[in-house]
């Protein structure tokens, strides 16, 4: 006589084990994809910043007038010279004036061009989109050289204008540089704003048309408010770029004596490092980076508060 045996059911898996295994697997995958960026960010961003801060804390001492120079830790000695350096602060004031005028003009043109490209009334959008963006494909140095020749009274084909208007003089050279920067970067900012316009659902426009809104009213009441985050982004990029202005004024030194070696903060850093006084140049760079952070972060918080209202 045989006895029937009943199969014992398998024990259920311990609760939480599959989830923990899945979390570890996802964690390894995330680490694998993020690691290349992390290594490059550390090597080419954080390490140079740390080295610049350390370099700014050093100073050079000599034993007597002709003694051997040695580098020692000087604390905030270099920063005391930074805050006493009149030309550096004048250069910061100059680029701030530059930004107050140039950035709104550039972003205003970029917004107008983006709205025109997004309008259903405009024909030939592909041509105009390419035409607006082409100047950005020209390197900044080449653009500055090209405009420098156009401004120069001896070389410009518009001698009737440049001979009577001192575009490269001390009073106008800053705005001549602003024109070059505007010409180059309007298309870049236009593309960012235009991409934000394309992301707006078409149903919003259709509802506005059914309500009898004109294209001008749609642009003013719908499009512009909905692309304000993109405009804020381009404004932050422009603020950072304004304080880092270097290539255009450096090229204009060949055309105008009004552009000095300390015309912009970055030119002051470049000139100081060429002396060489790398510690003072590093201190200039750290102060400039902090000023850039404060201005860009302050504008970001201001724009976020306005959008929250």
pTM for the model stands at 0.83
Distance CA 42, CA 105 (A): 36
Q: Residue 41 — left, alpha, or beta (φ > 0 → left; ψ -120 to 50 → alpha)?
A: alpha
Instruction: Determine the longest span between alpha carbons in the chain, in angstroms.
Output: 123
Question: Could you read off the pLDDT of 117-163 as tens digits, one per residue?
Answer: 988 888 888 888 889 889 999 988 999 999 999 998 888 888 888 88
Torsion over CA of 230, 232, 233 and 237, rounded to 10 degrees?
140
Distance CA 309, CA 300 (A): 15
Each domain of the chain, given as residue ranges in start order, spans 18-77, 82-308
| Helix or strand (DSSP H, E) at 201 | none
Question: Could you read off the pLDDT of 54-103 as tens digits, one per residue?
Answer: 999 988 887 766 667 778 888 889 999 999 999 999 999 999 999 999 99
Which pLDDT belongs to residue 61?
80
82-308 has CATH 3.40.50.720 classification:
no
**Residue 248 in contact with residue 144, Cβ under 8 Å?**
yes
Residue length of the chain: 309
């Amino acid at each position: 006589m045989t006895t029937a045996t009943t199969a014992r059911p398998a024990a259920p898996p311990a609760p939480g084990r599959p989830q923990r295994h899945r979390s570890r697997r996802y964690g390894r995958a995330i680490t694998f994809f993020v690691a290349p960026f992390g290594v490059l960010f550390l090597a080419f961003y954080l390490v140079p910043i740390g080295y610049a801060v350390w370099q700014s804390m050093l100073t050079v001492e000599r034993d007597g007038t002709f003694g051997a120079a040695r580098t020692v830790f000087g604390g905030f000695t270099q920063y005391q010279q930074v805050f006493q350096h009149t030309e550096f602060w004048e250069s910061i004031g100059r680029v701030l004036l530059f930004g107050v005028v140039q950035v709104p003009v550039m972003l205003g043109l970029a917004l107008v061009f983006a709205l025109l490209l997004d309008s259903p009334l405009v024909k030939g959008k592909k041509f105009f989109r390419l035409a607006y963006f082409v100047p950005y494909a020209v390197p900044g140095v080449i653009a500055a050289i090209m405009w420098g020749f156009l401004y120069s009274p001896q070389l410009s084909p518009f001698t009737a204008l440049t001979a009577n208007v001192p575009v490269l003089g001390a009073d106008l050279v800053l705005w001549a540089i602003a024109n070059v920067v505007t010409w180059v970067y309007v298309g870049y900012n236009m593309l960012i704003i235009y991409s934000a316009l394309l992301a707006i659902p078409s149903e919003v426009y259709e509802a506005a048309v059914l309500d009898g809104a004109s294209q001008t009213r749609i642009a003013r009441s719908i499009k512009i408010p909905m692309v304000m985050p993109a405009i804020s982004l381009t404004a932050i990029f422009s603020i950072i770029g304004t304080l880092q202005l270097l290539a255009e004024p450096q090229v204009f030194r060949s055309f105008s004596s009004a552009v000095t070696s300390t015309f912009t903060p970055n030119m002051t850093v470049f000139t100081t490092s060429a002396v060489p006084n790398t510690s003072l140049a590093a201190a200039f760079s750290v102060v400039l980076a902090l000023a850039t952070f404060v201005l860009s972060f302050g504008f970001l918080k201001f724009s976020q508060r306005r959008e929250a209202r």
